[in-house]
Structure 1
Amino acid sequence: MRTTVWRTVVSLAVLLTPLAGWSQGYSIQQVPFTSVSIRDHFWAPRLKSHAQTTLRICIAQMRDSTQRIANFERAAGLKSGGHQGIFFDDSDVYKAMEGMAYSLQHSRDPEIEAVMDHWTGLIAKAQQPDGYINTYFTLDHPQDEWGDKGRWTDVGRHEMYCGGHLIEAGVAYHKATGKRTLLDVGIRFANHWLATFGPGKRHWVEGHQEPELALVKLYHATNDKRYLDFAHWLLEERGHGHEKGPMWDANPNARRDIQTEVPVKDLADIKGHAVRATYLFTGMADVLATSGDKTYQPALLRVWDDVVLRNMYITGGIGSSATNEGFVEDYDLPNKTAYSETCASIGMVLWNSRMNLLSGEAKYADVMERAMNNAVLAGVSLAGDRFFYVNPLESDGAHHRQSWFGCACCPSNISRFLPSVGNYVYAQKKDELLVNLYMASETRLQMGATPVGITQETDYPWEGRIRLTVNPETAVNGKIKLRIPGWCKTYSVHLNGRKINPKKLDAGYWTLDRTWKKGDVITLDLDMPVEVVAADPRVRANVGKRAIQRGPLVYCLEQTDNPGIDLNTLKISATTRYSVSNGNGMLRGMKLVQTTVAGKPITYVPYYAWDNREAGKMMVWVDYTD
């Protein structure tokens, strides 16, 4: 493993790859999910359940079971009454709409598009003449009631956070359909920000980072540099004492919780709320890439080391404490009380993807994959209809998925993340193609000026064989870089049936540099044994324990598979041997790990699949004896 607070028992050293040269801007670009057709047995079923179930649950919850859409109807003057729900509930509507827009980019669905258009009309009617939009303030604290509860008086009220999600939804829907109404609402709100805040105007430190990401997207959508400059200004406002408001005054740890104790360029470690932190680092990476502010690079490297080396769960989740939904101290990684919010795991994917694009280093894609395949996927049931907000690594049987939450940030975030997973498979730099994730898929891209088709065939993550067929329209020179995952100890590469001799990896990638012709086939075989993993001894919760991992997947024990076994007293040992079997029932298509302890059969299942069947105990880290 390259970077962790846990490591395989076989290899106890933590190995860091050297930093590849960072370039200004994302000279490496994602191949967008709209150009990647996923057809594997792992992700494709999740995309199907998202389109058929998850999106429709989000629509029904916001329209029928909660007051989120009704708040927009009231703010638009179509209904009477005040705001109902949490002050940031608007953001859930926008995140679900972004997910709907991404789904439409996969396949136009008249029913989903009709909902989008209706909701867009309500949002447009709810927008105030000066561009401001937020149903909580419009309904309960209108503009003529300035004071300690008026708009733009409390950095903790998520006004720009909600607006950022509005902008992202507008950009996504415009890309999906060409329709501008929602995008124009977002532009008017962003212009309201520009008229209100900035150099020579008012200060502002948004209590929940997110608008920085949205503003960079808006800059790319409009080519209006004011939005990029404002994103940069928002980041630079942090750490200078510009925070204010009632919620701020009520929380003595507020500056730590929202990462504004120091200017962002001086950040050295992870503190505070986990989701806010990952959104902050993602925004810093976007601004670094787009504006070229290199002062952010050292800070991003420092905090990445602190997160991944000292504060990340084996599942890729982060944030150990429920008190602040974030971090307490290094190596504080309890299992049963782990918070590991689903939104924070999504934030880890967003941030590490950007770090990979900035640096060209595979170690960031390693973390991205770990979070996606374990912590993020655990956040939604196999059927796509129930959700986790908190993702512990141990349960006494009382922690279960819910159909919805009062604070529904995680279901709505899942709804926008899943249809975009194709974004993370391939990345490209001129005549170089980085293969970051392995999933059966097809894509078409340009290598130089030459159109190239790539077909990926694999049963990953269950099996380690990946077959890539390269089909350029004409012969083309270029590099194809295969990520060799940090968990993989032994592998081989064949080109057109001939084995290639081992060579030194380039920042974690096996690079093939040649003239590619139609029908060229690369075969990558990654050995995928069951591995026993130990935690860093400074992680007190895991002293004397071990976890099981196979390939990129972390496994856990569930009581339902192990009747009559007391999981709390179960011990594996150095002599324990493991085998792999096929799952059945709800686990059909999965690989399970089996062993025998004290003459009794023991079954491990993938962590992401837990709590989809009978209720019962669960644990990732199990007692161990030499």
Structure 2
Amino acid sequence: MMKRSLLAVALVSASTVLAQPKDYPVQAVNFTAVKLTDNFWLPRMKINHNVTIPASFARCESTGRVKNFEMAAAHSGKFCTTFPFDDTDIYKTIEGASFSLSLFPDKKLETYIDSLIDKVGKAQEPDGYLYTARTIDPQKPHNWAGPERWVKERELSHELYNSGHLYEAAYAHYYATGKKNLLNIALKNADLVCSVFGEGKLHVAPGHEIVEMGLVKLYRITGKQQYLQTARFFIEERGRYKGYDAKSKDPWRNGAYWQDQQPVADQREAVGHAVRAAYLYSAVADVAALTGDEKLLLAVDSIWQNVVAKKIYVQGGLGAIPSGERFGDNYELPNATAYNETCAAIAGVYWNYRMFLLHGDSKYMDVLEKMLYNGLISGIGLDGKSFFYANAMQIKNHFSHQAMEPERSGWFDCSCCPTNLTRLIPSIPGYVYAQKGDAVYVNLFVSGNATMNVHGKPVSIVQQNNYPWDGALTFTVSPQKTDAFSLLVRIPGWARNEAIPSNLYTFSDNPATKVSISINGQPVEYSVDKGYAVIKRTWKKGDVLKVDLPMDVRRVVASENVKDDQGKVALQRGPLIYCAEWADNNGRAANILIPPDAVFQARFQPDLLNGVEVLQSEVPVITVDEKAQTVSTNRKLVTAIPYYAWANRGKGEMMVWFPEKVKDVEIIGEQSKQEPGKK
């Protein structure tokens, strides 16, 4: 039954593509075509399936999120959670569970999802409107909702945000299961949205973007032009509202908070709420690809360059400023108050993948990989049920103004990050491969089996590796019949002496190492195009391609424009950024110096943090002798762990950027000392 449904979906998708005059030059290989055997991601997907998704659904039940739908269906009761966008936590978890069903068939889970979809359908009003914060009691809606539909959409209500996550969930559920029960609900709502908004109708730019991305996905399923047109309308509506104070520097008053300060086609800098922004930029890439709009393409290219050159943290985090969860000014990347919302890293993955599909350049996958392996999975604990909303860059015991939480939480009143993680993690198979004509891109290094069509015939690729711990990659390529085509293997920027595709961060050392590639045991010469090693040949069944990436420990330094990181160094090995944590370093981490002559050794510790490669070196550590009233430095063995794994052993100090030498000593009074996170 599943195969027949997926075949039907594939046929719909194929006919839609034929009807579309324009699309991304590069096409993703669907997540259903990639089966993982990987030791890094597959266990995380199993934890997501067995722990995170059930915990998320359970919390949606216990916090009243499910009850809101039940009361909306009965038109009786009182909205019982905090925010009008709490509906989306159910949508996002359904989306994640749908992806997960394609990896781990689970009849019990599938039945439960159907029961939730039934409740969602019953809560939908006859004309398609779906928003429990109003439908429960239209006379007394949520304070953020406004007295009538849509009147507070720009700033507070999140009505279209709810719709967007509904569409995203419906798309995933339809592709994973072949069922239309959630899709039909989404289409009914989308038809209402398209009838209300547009030229000659209601004009508003959605306050929290994602409806644009969702409408594009519904367009891809149905081929209905109105969905694409409305997505484009929402993008082009930005910058038209006359009620802002253009002279104000307050992003809430000038529209910048929700990227509404000027037309998108004229925007060149990432501003405002980082999650909203990256969702918008993802949609701009979608619409630019599907319409050929050169102005939108120029805008999204320029904004991406602004982020990567001036507004991204070394571990891929986006959104430096806690007030408004937003981007700061250019080069404003403080460590003590770094925000780095988990949802922003997730949105960054969506955006960067679309940029890759637009341009076929590995630099976008380099940034995606940085986010994925560092600032994104740092947001979920190794237990699968504890989370960070914000992802700190440092935790110091003695700073009373420490802004970020030093320990994970099981849930949040605004629980967008936990439920967003449930949908991103099982979708990772869809980012591994892509195609352009007879060129096959290998983007991520994840062990598993994939099947795709080249020249209309199936080609199987089997990846075997121990990435990200080891750089030895093996690909067994097996076309059904001997065939000539190109395999484009990404040579990561970090393996080409590029810390990030800009001069924002650079490696202080640049060894002249070339990535070696062999086929069937014989070394081969290759050309590099846009960061990809191009292997063009006639492939036969069982050809073995081997790629050996250097896994040296690298020292990262920041541009002189990033004031907070001057005289400091960060550590990177492969795609992973490292940090020092209190648990490995005698209860401290903020007292470690890493001078230029420090040499780190990598060692895999299978029993630590579910198995991690640690970095160790003897370096100066600052010691305070309170009795003798002295401060000294002593060389001690220091251990660094992957950044994503911190805060799984209790709370305490953590550092990403380390001073190279002592320049000054700050004297802290006893009254200022306290546990991190206490305010």
TM superposition score category, shorter chain reference: over 0.9
**Could you say what secondary structure the match of 1:270 adopts?**
coil
Verify: 1:67 aligned to 2:90, yes or no.
Answer: no
What corresponds to 2:212 in structure 1?
212
Structure 2, unaligned runs of 5 or more: 1-20, 398-404, 497-512, 620-633, 663-679
**Alignment equivalent of 2:99, drawn from 88, 92, 102:** 102
1:607 paired residue number: 643
Q: CA deviation at 1:599?
A: 3.0
**Which residue does 1:431 correspond to in 2?**
438
Residue 581 and residue 136 in structure 1: after superposition, are their counterparts in 2 closer, same or farther (change >3 A)? same
- 1:418 aligns to 2:425 (yes or no): yes
1:178 Cα offset (Å): 2.4
Counterpart-to-counterpart distance in 2, 1:160 and 1:417: 21
- How far the C-alpha of 1:161 sits from its partner, in A, is 0.6
* Alignment of 1:500 onto 2:536: no
Deviation string 1:66-86 (CA, Å, 9 cap, x unpaired) is 011110010010863344321
SS at match of 2:649: coil
* Preserved CA contact (<8 Å) 2:251 2:272: no
Q: CA deviation at 1:255?
A: 0.5
Partner residue in 1 for 2:572: 549
**In 1: Cα distance, 2:425 partner to 2:441 partner:** 21
In structure 2, C-alpha distance between the alignment counterparts of 1:233 and 1:530, rounded to whole Å? 48
Q: 1:624 and 2:663 equivalent?
A: no
Q: By how many angstroms is 1:586 displaced?
A: 3.8
CA contact (8 A) 2:355 2:364 kept: yes
1:195-222 deviations in Å (ceiling 9; x for gaps): 2111111112100010010000000111
Match among 47, 57, 70 for residue 49 of structure 1:
47
Structure 1 residue 227: deviation in Å? 0.4
In structure 2, relative to structure 1, the CA distance for the partners of 1:119 and 1:254 (3 Å cut) is farther
Query: Structure 1 residue 588: deviation in Å?
Result: 4.2
1:484 aligns with 2:508: no
Contact persistence 1:204–1:243 (CA under 8 A): no
Equivalent residue for 2:180? 180
1:528 and 2:551 correspond: yes
Give the counterpart letter for 2:64 in structure 1.
Answer: Q
- For 2:452 and 2:146, the matched residues in 1 are separated by 53
Q: Which residue of 2 aligns with 1:585?
A: 607
Q: Aligned to 2:535, which of 502, 512, 530?
A: 512
Rounded Cα–Cα distance in structure 2 between residues aligned with 1:29 and 1:449: 15
| CA apart distance, 1:171 | 1.9
Q: Is the 8 A contact 1:582 1:588 kept in 2?
A: no
Residues 71-470 of structure 1 aligned to structure 2 (within 5 Å):
71-77=68-74, 80-142=77-139, 148-154=146-152, 155-156=154-155, 157-241=157-241, 252-253=252-253, 255-396=255-396, 399-470=406-477
**SS of the residue 2:528 aligns to:** coil
Partner SS, residue 76 of structure 1: helix
| CA distance in 2 between partners of 1:253 and 1:505 (Å) | 47
Q: TM-score, normalised by structure 1?
A: 0.92
- Answer whether contact 1:455 1:470 (CA < 8 A) is retained: yes
1:336 Cα deviation from its structure 2 partner: 2.2
Q: 1:251, 1:429 → 2: CA distance?
A: 41
Q: Deviations over 1:221-259 (max 9, x none)?
A: 111111011111111111111679xxx9x9743610000
Counterpart residue type for residue 184 of structure 1? N
Question: For residues 85 and 276 of structure 1, what CA distance do their matches in structure 2 show?
Answer: 20
Instruction: Give the C-alpha shift of residue 140 in structure 1.
Output: 4.1
Q: Deviations over 1:419-443 (max 9, x none)?
A: 0001111111121100011111110
Deviation track 1:362-404 (CA, whole Å, cap 9, x = no partner) reads 0000000000000111011112111110001111365111100
Q: Within 2, Cα distance between the matches of 1:50 and 1:35?
A: 20
Structure 1 contact 83–135 (Cα < 8 Å) conserved: no
**For 2:412 and 2:226, how far apart are their aligned partners in 1?**
37
Separation in structure 2 between the aligned mates of residue 619 and residue 151 of structure 1, nearest angstrom: 47
Contact 1:450 1:476 in 2 (8 A): no
CA distance in 2, matches of 1:89, 1:192: 21
- 2:581 pairs with one of 540, 544, 558: 558
Amino acid at match of 2:611: G
Q: What is the CA distance between 1:591 and its match in structure 2?
A: 0.7
> Are the counterparts in 2 of residues 142 and 151 from structure 1 also a CA contact under 8 Å?
no
Q: Distance in 1 between matches of 2:661 and 2:79?
A: 61
1:568 aligns with 2:590: yes
Matching residue's letter, 2:86: D
Tell me the residue number matched to 2:38: 40
**C-alpha separation in 2, matches of 1:385 and 1:295:** 43
Q: Any gaps of 5 or more consecutive residues in structure 1?
A: 1-22
Identity of aligned pairs, percent? Answer: 40
Indicate if the aligned counterparts of 2:590 and 2:654 stay in contact, CA closer than 8 A.
Answer: no
- After TM superposition, give the deviation of residue 53 of structure 1 in Å: 0.3
**Is the alpha carbon distance of 1:424 and 1:483 closer, same or farther for their aligned partners in structure 2, counting shifts above 3 Å?**
same
In structure 2, do the counterparts of structure 1 residues 343 and 209 end up closer, same or farther at CA, with 3 Å as the change threshold? same
Say if 1:472 and 1:504 are closer, same or farther in 2 by CA, change over 3 A: closer
Compute the displacement of 1:357 (Å): 0.7
Preserved contact between residue 443 and residue 454 of structure 1 (Cα < 8 Å): yes
SS, match of residue 455 in structure 1: strand
| Greater relative contact order structure (CA < 8 Å, 6+ sep) | 1
Change in 2 beyond 3 A, CA 1:145/1:329: closer
Q: Partners in 1 of 2:450 and 2:591 — Cα distance? A: 49
The answer to whether the Cα contact below 8 Å between 2:73 and 2:136 also exists between their aligned partners in 1 is: no
- Letter in structure 2 aligned against 1:492: S
Q: Judging changes above 3 Å, is the alpha-carbon distance between structure 1 residues 91 and 242 closer, same or farther for their aligned structure 2 residues? A: farther
Letter in 1 for 2:659: D
Which deviations, in whole Å up to 9, do the C-alpha atoms of 1:545-573 show, x marking residues without a partner?
A: 10000010000000100015x43332111
Contact 1:205–1:243 (8 Å) recurs in 2: no
SS in 1 for 2:647: coil
Equivalent-residue separation in structure 2 for 1:143 and 1:234 (angstroms): 28
Q: What is the CA–CA distance in structure 2 between the aligned matches of 1:463 and 1:605, rounded to whole Å? A: 16
Asked whether the 8 Å contact 1:532–1:548 carries over to 2, the reply is yes
